[in-house]
Structure 1
């Protein structure tokens, strides 16, 4: 009778092994679900970047206001009747040497 019990327990373990540790087992499914959630987060961030860029492209195509704003920010352009004033903060090296 003892050998029947050992045989049945070993058969049960043999049948359970692929369920837990196999290629399509529980641990593999959990690992894939974690990878899926990480990829979904990365996709959400990429979608936000795409939406932001699409809005910027739309603004640039829609009118000159966006082009002028970008030219002012990136290239320091001014209109002919404007006066450009730039305020430069004091250098840190000069303030450090004065101490």
Structure 2
């Protein structure tokens, strides 16, 4: 094989070598670099968790808003809350407490 034949073979192969090196670099960046596929999956999980937390907080806010509206609208809600949370007993009412039987 002459010197010119070797140069001609490498001249034809250098494009392939360069393309393979570029492909390797791109694959490295895709799997291990910044903004890679594992990073994408981790961010997707974080978004799902945050969406769940937001849904829970939205439900809690709706319940609190309903309580606020009840308290603004009527005295019955205030009275019910005082009875349940503070043990309020009206004048003239009799309070009965039923205790469970003791198991012997």
TM-score band w.r.t. shorter chain: 0.7 to 0.9
Q: Give the count of matched residue pairs.
A: 93
SS in 1 for 2:50: helix
Structure 1: gaps of 5 or more residues? none
Contact 1:19 1:26 in 2 (8 A): yes
Task: Supply the distance in 1 between the matched residues of 2:92 and 2:83 (Cα, whole angstroms).
Answer: 14
Residue 83 (structure 2) pairs with residue 79 (structure 1): no
Please point out which of 14, 27, 31 is paired with 1:20.
31
SS in 2 for 1:46: helix
| Moved segments of 4+, more than 6 Å | none
Displacement, 1:58?
Answer: 1.1
1:36 corresponds in structure 2 to 47
Displacement, 1:74?
Answer: 1.1
Residue 38 (structure 2) pairs with residue 62 (structure 1): no
1:9-51 per-position Cα deviation (integer Å, ceiling 9, x unaligned): 3431112211222211121111101100110001100110111
Displacement, 1:8?
Answer: 4.1
- TM norm structure 2: 0.76
Task: Supply the distance in 1 between the matched residues of 2:69 and 2:21 (Cα, whole angstroms).
Answer: 67
